[in-house]
Amino acid sequence: MSDNKNEQLEKTKQQDELMKETGEAMLSDNEKEYHIQLLTIIGEVEGHECLPNNSKTTKYEHILPKLAVIEDSKETDGLLILLNTVGGDVEAGLAIAEMIASLSKPTVSLVLGGGHSIGVPMAVSADYSFIVPSATMVIHPVRSSGMFIGVMQSYRNIEKIQDRITGFVAEHSHMKQERIEELMLDTSQLVKDVGTMLEGPEAVREGLIDQVGGIREAMDKLYQLIGEAKAEKTS
């Protein structure tokens, strides 16, 4: 009995350290005994360049291998993604979104606080998405700090990147690409900027996010998707 207790304490300690370092955890104490991987995407998504040490960041070179491990794991039944991000590196964000969308394991995302900019495709990349009522999502044009040959080349490059983003979001949500572009280029909402801010219920009405809800609803949906996936395997 004592050995079991010590083993449980050690497991809890390791879990706490993992959450502290990476924001990740394995959730397995539920009644259904499903093994659910928790992944957090917070702050700014860091790409090929390191951000200042005082910035809260999500490093894509940490997330991509983790997603590969989740896909390969026999133990993991599903993935819960918690997002509160201001956006960040476009290429890195799209890479994460594409990886999540290609997982064979059931996935659910929950937007808390904000899912802005490149956070939008990451939020919709899951099989089912939730947003809390107070959270916001900002859709705006791509900004580029890279170097191009000239104005026309720069414009074409940005246009192609925007097409990739709006195409991905349209494919993984219930919004038309034309509507996404319309909100992206709106000049009436953001002061000194172009784009649209959607609050939780608005994001659902637009078809960007599937449902307004919190952690309880997100977990219940993930349990449902896992149960359906297991039933399909055994049938």
Query: What is the set of active-site residues?
Result: 117, 140
Residue at 120: amino acid letter: V
Measured CA distances, 179 to 101, 155, 196 (Å):
22, 21, 11
As beta bridge partners, residue 81 has 39, 109
Residue-level length of the chain: 235
How far, in Å, CA of 74 to CA of 49, rounded?
34
No. of helices (H) and no. of strands (E), the chain: 8, 9
Residue 81, token pair as written in the block: 């993604």
How far, in Å, CA of 91 to CA of 216, rounded?
32
How far, in Å, CA of 77 to CA of 220, rounded?
14
How far, in Å, CA of 209 to CA of 76, rounded?
25
